[in-house]
């Protein structure tokens, strides 16, 4: 994750407060020996997909069972509307479940993959909902014998909870429009994020209409299962997205300990608190940080841990690329912080080989720095940047390399006499030359989207199987 830029070159001093003692962290140093991996549950991505498809099959089983009894144009129109309505209702529940931040899902599937699944399910939800509306309306027009406009208006106003469902569909379409890449680029991340809360209202506006369908009116079992689905999903959302962050904020009492400048555009934020070992944060993971300072409290941005978590301190290292990240440099020691997480699956749990290659670009080095220190086995780091001054945390990386007898390759596009690096093109041939035996490595990628995309293609051409290329994108 990236973010932040400082406002001055001086180091903030920790203030003494009544009944509060904020320790100033020492410079983060590598520790010998990898920490023991936390014992946490991780969902298998393939199993999750199987369960999602199985749920869709169960949700539409009764509809498919009645297909042999369908006859006539109106009957077929109604049947297609019934089937797409069931699938749209199920997709709505899945849509919310995927972003409920269940720890087992997040650590096993990965935040970026869940975000992509969420986006895909969202598109299917819109298509299925619109198709359901069109076919159900066409069936009603065919049976009513009146004009299309009159029948449609009558259906919306007088049909069972159809007006609410129509409003819900319009809200979903609105969220889909603002999620189009060309539109989203013109919006602030915070605005786009909060507009997505409209999805919750849209889904539950349509819920009453769903229960009026024949599959639920004629089957108490289906009705009970559907209601259980729509009770459990919001319960998970409320627990993991709202109550858990509140409970942890009260338990851990995170606060800023110190701000340190790593380069003219990058700062490290040290955070302290109570019972930090209970967070179970692993190297490679990130939190969504909400700093309770003027102008910052209303947004939570994701930043990776840039060093292994300890029982006393957490650290993030952030580049100033936006208003929120630049404001981090102006935080005062003692500022309270709410942290949601830890999230992400870019951890040692993905490793299957004794050799690992870490490829980082720019400030994307932050999660890889923590992995470089702790990942077991033989580890090689390739750190890519445009200029020498963008190679942040270099002293720490060199210390880690000496401590664990690991290799680092610094590669910069604009070479200078002090860089000590060289320019290495992102091609399969160049990577095979740089990393002997590359094809048998696990590879961890983190950096700008263009870099990680190019690196992934180069690694595939170099013979690294896709299943051993581990990357998490934060473009969500």
Give the pLDDT score at 299.
Answer: 84
pLDDT at 298: 83
Is there a contact between 286 and 341 (Cβ–Cβ < 8 Å)? yes
Residue 176 — very low, low, confident or very high, per pLDDT cuts 50/70/90? confident
Tens digits of residue pLDDT in 399-458: 999 999 999 999 887 655 544 556 677 888 889 999 999 999 999 999 888 888 999 999
What mean pLDDT do residues 327-344 have? Answer: 93
Question: What does pLDDT average to over the chain?
Answer: 85
State yes or no: pLDDT of 388 exceeds 90: no
Judge contact between 313 and 40, C-beta under 8 A.
no
- The pLDDT of residue 27: 59
394 falls in which pLDDT band (50, 70, 90)? very high
Q: Give yes or no for residue 189 having a pLDDT over 80.
A: no
pLDDT band at 11 (very low <50, low <70, confident <90, very high): very low
Q: 294 pLDDT exceeds 50? A: yes
User: Which of 227, 406, 256 lies closest to 338 in space, CA to CA?
Assistant: 256
Q: Give me the residue label for tokens 């298509």.
A: 127
Q: Is the predicted pLDDT of residue 183 greater than 90, yes or no?
A: no
* Residue with the larger pLDDT of the pair 407 and 320: 407
**Domain 253-343 in CATH: superfamily?**
Translation factors (2.40.30.10)
Average pLDDT of 174-194? 79
Residue 314 confidence (pLDDT) above 60: yes
Does the pLDDT of residue 258 top 60, yes or no?
A: yes
Nearest by Cα to 448 from 385, 377, 400, 391: 385
The residue extents of the domains of the chain are 45-246, 253-343, 348-471
Q: How far apart are CA 87 and CA 92, in angstroms?
A: 9
pLDDT higher than threshold 70 for residue 327:
yes
pLDDT beyond 60 at 39: no
- Domain 348-471 part of CATH 3.10.105.10: no
Higher pLDDT among residues 340 and 425, named by residue: 340
Confidence of residue 26 (pLDDT cuts 50, 70, 90): low
Spatial contact of 142 and 74, defined as CB atoms under 8 Å apart: yes
According to DSSP, residue 60 is labeled: T
pLDDT interval class at 474 (50, 70, 90): low
Distances in whole angstroms, Cα of residue 335 to Cα of each of 91, 203, 225, 256: 41, 37, 46, 5
Spatial separation of the C-alpha atoms in residues 366 and 406, rounded to whole Å: 18
CB neighbours of 11 closer than 8 A, spacing ≥ 6?
A: 258, 259, 260, 261
pLDDT of 75-103, one tens digit each? 999 999 999 999 999 999 999 999 999 99
Better pLDDT: 147 or 40: 147
- Pairing state of beta strands 301-304 and 355-361? unpaired
- Rounded CA-CA distance 455/335 in Å is 39
Distance between CA 256 and CA 331 in Å, rounded?
A: 8
* Confidence check: pLDDT of 288 > 50: yes
Kindly state the percentage of the chain with pLDDT values over 90. Answer: 50
- Confidence class for position 475, pLDDT limits 50, 70, 90: low
Topology agreement, domain 253-343 and domain 348-471: no
R_g (Cα) of the chain, nearest Å? 26
The predicted pLDDT at position 36 comes to 47
Write out the DSSP string of 86-127.
HHHHHHHHHHHHTTS--HHHHHHH-HHHHHHHHHHHHHHHHH
Q: What is the mean pLDDT of residues 52-78?
A: 90
């Amino acid at each position: 994750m990236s973010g932040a830029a400082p406002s001055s070159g001086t180091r903030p001093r920790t203030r003494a407060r009544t009944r509060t003692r904020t320790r100033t962290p020492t410079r983060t140093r590598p520790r010998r020996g990898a920490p023991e991996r936390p014992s946490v549950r991780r969902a298998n991505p393939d199993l999750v997909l199987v369960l999602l498809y199985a749920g869709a099959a169960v949700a539409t089983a009764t509809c498919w069972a009645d297909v042999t009894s369908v006859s006539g144009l109106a009957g077929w129109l109604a049947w297609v509307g019934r089937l797409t309505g069931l699938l749209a209702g199920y997709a709505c529940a899945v849509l919310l479940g995927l972003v409920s931040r269940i720890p087992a899902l997040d650590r096993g599937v990965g935040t970026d993959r869940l975000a992509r699944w969420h986006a895909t399910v969202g598109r299917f939800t819109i298509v299925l909902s619109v198709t359901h509306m069109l076919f159900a309306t066409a069936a009603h027009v065919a049976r009513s014998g009146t004009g299309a406009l009159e029948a449609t208006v009558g259906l919306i106003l007088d049909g069972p909870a159809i007006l609410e469902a129509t409003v819900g569909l319009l809200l979903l379409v609105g969220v889909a429009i603002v999620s189009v890449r060309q539109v989203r680029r013109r919006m602030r991340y915070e605005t786009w994020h909060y507009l997505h809360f409209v999805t919750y209202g849209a889904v539950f506006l349509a819920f009453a209409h769903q229960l009026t369908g024949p599959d639920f009116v004629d089957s108490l079992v289906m009705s009970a299962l559907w209601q259980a689905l729509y009770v459990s999903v919001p319960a998970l959302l409320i627990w993991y997205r709202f109550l858990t962050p509140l409970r942890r904020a009260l338990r851990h009492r995170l606060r800023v300990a110190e701000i340190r400048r790593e380069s003219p555009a990058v700062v490290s934020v040290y955070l302290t608190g109570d019972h930090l070992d209970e967070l179970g944060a692993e190297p490679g993971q990130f939190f969504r940080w909400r700093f309770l300072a003027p102008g910052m409290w209303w947004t939570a941005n994701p930043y990776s841990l840039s060093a292994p978590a300890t029982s006393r301190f957490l650290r993030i290292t952030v580049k100033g690329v936006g208003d929120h990240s630049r404001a981090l440099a102006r935080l005062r020691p003692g500022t309270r912080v709410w942290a949601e997480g830890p999230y992400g699956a870019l951890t040692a749990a993905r490793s299957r080989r004794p050799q690992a290659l870490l490829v980082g670009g720019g400030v994307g080095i932050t999660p890889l720095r923590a992995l470089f220190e702790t990942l077991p086995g033989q580890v090689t780091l390739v750190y890519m940047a445009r200029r020498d001054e963008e190679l942040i945390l270099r002293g720490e990386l060199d210390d880690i390399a000496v401590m664990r007898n690991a290799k680092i390759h610094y590669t910069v596009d604009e070479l200078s006499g002090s860089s000590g690096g060289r320019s290495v093109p992102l091609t399969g041939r160049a990577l095979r030359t740089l990393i002997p035996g590359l094809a048998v490595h696990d590879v961890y990628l983190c950096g700008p989207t263009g870099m990680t995309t190019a690196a992934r293609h180069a690694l595939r051409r170099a013979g690294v199987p896709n299943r051993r290329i581990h990357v998490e994108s934060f473009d969500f």
